[in-house]
Structure 1
Amino acid sequence: MKIFSDKTQIQNYIKQIKAKNLSIGFVPTMGALHEGHLSLVKEGFKKNDVVVVSIFVNPTQFDKKEDLHKYPRTLEADINLLDTISKDIIIYAPTVEDIYEGNTVAEHFSFDGLEFEMEGKFRIGHFDGVGTIVKRLLETVEPDNAYFGEKDFQQLMIIKKLVDKHKMSVNIVGCDIYRDPNGLAMSSRNVRLKEAYKQAAPFIYKTLISAKKKFGTESANKVTEWVEKQFETHKLLTLEYFNIADTKTLKSVKRKSKKKSYRAFIAVYADDIRLIDNIALN
């Protein structure tokens, strides 16, 4: 297993790979790896000769400093976990200095309005940080395919927009949400859940399943009102938002159309830990 922390060194190594006409898959992560990340790596190996995994907690996408400080950093455990998948994985674990070169500031991007919906309303500047790090990582690794989980569906759509706008020659692949047997979407934040909240959190996905059924016969507004009522009486979980949106524009649905596809998006606080999820509705 090759491990790099220096941008120039990994770029030189990737040149050697490309000289052999080998295809490269890329899985960018912020570490604290779990089975969800491993499922992306496995997808990468299905259609690529080589898979690169980046492990970097990106400071410019955190809107709250305390959230950045609390984010789990488990590099050694992450490396050991990846080793169970393949010894041929290339790991890029840069420092903040290596990525930002002394200027830890996000670039400003326009994603044609995608950045102002849902997460963008509650996490100001978040998607500028995401765009900055993803663009720099893609430019460094130069993969043929890059893999992202649909748990962060809005982020996935924004990255596709980023690649399109900057004419980057990489195929962005969205992968199914990886869930615990109880339905909870896998997230690095889950390890911080206290036991009571861990037991309560599957309620989020159960609510999404019910919302999907209701969306077949009821309006988006009716479904939204129903979801909000479910959380009003919940003792441990606090709803931040629930939104039914067009999958292409991410704008809230006003009137359903059979010609469009929709997803339901949700953000919930379990104590001080923010959990997000979504589900395809049609």
Structure 2
Amino acid sequence: MQVIEDPKLLRSEIKKLKQQGELISFIPTMGNLHQGHLTLVKEGQLHAKITIVSIFVNPMQFNNAQDLANYPKTLAEDCAQLKEAGVDIVFTPTPEVIYPNGLNAQTFVEVPGISDSLEGELRPGHFRGVSTIVTKLFNLVQPDFACFGKKDFQQLAVIKQMVLDLAMPIKIIPVETVRENSGLAMSSRNSKLSEAEKLIAPKIAEVMNNIGQNLPTNSENCEQLIKDAQQTLNNSGFKTDEIHIVDPLTFAPLHKASKQAVILMAAFLGNTRLIDNLVVNLHQ
């Protein structure tokens, strides 16, 4: 396995692979890897012989400087896991390499509409940062396939729309959320939870699934379902950040023609923000 920091060297290696006719699967990450990331790697390996993973904590997508500073960095452990998983190349650039002129002078990519609603409204500039770095990484890696987890539901939708709008020759492969035995969605942020918080954390998935069970017969009463869920989470020790029930295609409120709904959850447990989502069929 090669670990490459220099974009020029990466381009050189990619060129060789392309000349050999190899297909490439790509998994962009911010490191601090867990089984969810390794599931993305396994999925990528089903589609292409060559698998490339990037590890880059992207400052452009953080609107909270403290959150960026506290993001866990475990590069040596990450590379050991990726080597064992059979990854071919790990790309580990620094912010200075990716943004040589600084963030304020960086050309950016923004997907209109979807980037400004829900999570985008709560975290201004977040999806601009995501779409910009993913575009830059796609340009460097030139993958045929790219794997993204469904846990970041709105992010996945932004990337799919960006690839479509910019006519990128890349197939985006959504991968199911990997969960702990408790039902909690795996996340790099889970490592920041205290032992006591880890016992409470699965409640977010439990509350989400409860909404999902009630939604098909009660989809006209989303406000009450959300209010009840917020109260349950807050009484359990969470500080609810946002709960949305929207159409998964448009991210607009549900309407009579909506065939599915997506429940989007975000809540703080201590200082850790946990997210989750669930797609529910409304009409059989």
1:169-208 paired onto structure 2 within 5 Å:
169-208=169-208
Q: CA shift at 1:260, angstroms?
A: 2.7
Counterpart CA distance in 2 for 1:16 and 1:169 is: 19
Q: Residue 20 of structure 1 corresponds to which residue in structure 2?
A: 20
Q: CA shift at 1:217, angstroms?
A: 1.0
Q: Residue 239 of structure 2 corresponds to which residue in structure 1?
A: 238
Counterpart CA distance in 1 for 2:253 and 2:276 is: 16
Given that 2:204 and 2:233 are in contact with CA atoms closer than 8 Å, whether structure 1 keeps it comes out as: no
- Number of residue-to-residue matches in the alignment: 278
Q: 1:281 is matched by which residue type in structure 2?
A: V
Given that 1:60 and 1:126 are in contact with CA atoms closer than 8 Å, whether structure 2 keeps it comes out as: yes
Q: Residue 217 of structure 2 corresponds to which residue in structure 1?
A: 217
Q: Residue 90 of structure 2 corresponds to which residue in structure 1?
A: 91
1:123 aligns with 2:123: yes
Instruction: Return the TM-score normalized by structure 2.
Output: 0.94
Given that 2:109 and 2:135 are in contact with CA atoms closer than 8 Å, whether structure 1 keeps it comes out as: no
Q: CA shift at 1:108, angstroms?
A: 4.4
Q: CA shift at 1:166, angstroms?
A: 1.4
How has the CA–CA distance of structure 1 residues 275 and 256 changed in structure 2, closer, same or farther, with 3 Å as cutoff?
A: farther
Counterpart CA distance in 2 for 1:103 and 1:247 is: 35
Unaligned segments of structure 2, at least 5 residues: none
Q: 1:224 is matched by which residue type in structure 2?
A: I
RMSD of aligned residue pairs (Cα, Å): 1.3
1:229 to 224, 228, 231: 231
For the residue of structure 1 that corresponds to 2:148, the secondary structure is: strand
Q: 1:46 is matched by which residue type in structure 2?
A: L
Counterpart CA distance in 1 for 2:176 and 2:215 is: 21
Q: CA shift at 1:97, angstroms?
A: 1.5
For the residue of structure 1 that corresponds to 2:264, the secondary structure is: strand
Counterpart CA distance in 1 for 2:51 and 2:75 is: 18
Task: State the percentage of identical aligned residues.
Answer: 37
Which moves more between the two structures, 225-234 or 26-35? 225-234
Q: Residue 252 of structure 1 corresponds to which residue in structure 2?
A: 253
Counterpart CA distance in 2 for 1:165 and 1:181 is: 38
Counterpart CA distance in 1 for 2:107 and 2:66 is: 22
Q: CA shift at 1:168, angstroms?
A: 1.0
Q: 2:179 is matched by which residue type in structure 1?
A: R
Q: Residue 266 of structure 2 corresponds to which residue in structure 1?
A: 267
Given that 1:25 and 1:143 are in contact with CA atoms closer than 8 Å, whether structure 2 keeps it comes out as: yes
Given that 1:96 and 1:104 are in contact with CA atoms closer than 8 Å, whether structure 2 keeps it comes out as: no
Q: Cα deviation per residue 1:159-199 (whole Å; 9 max; x = unaligned)?
A: 11111121111111111001111011111111011111111
Unaligned segments of structure 1, at least 5 residues: none
Q: Residue 4 of structure 1 corresponds to which residue in structure 2?
A: 4
Given that 1:10 and 1:92 are in contact with CA atoms closer than 8 Å, whether structure 2 keeps it comes out as: yes
How has the CA–CA distance of structure 1 residues 90 and 141 changed in structure 2, closer, same or farther, with 3 Å as cutoff?
A: same
Counterpart CA distance in 1 for 2:188 and 2:230 is: 26
Instruction: Return the TM-score normalized by structure 1.
Output: 0.95
How has the CA–CA distance of structure 1 residues 21 and 108 changed in structure 2, closer, same or farther, with 3 Å as cutoff?
A: closer
Q: 2:262 is matched by which residue type in structure 1?
A: R
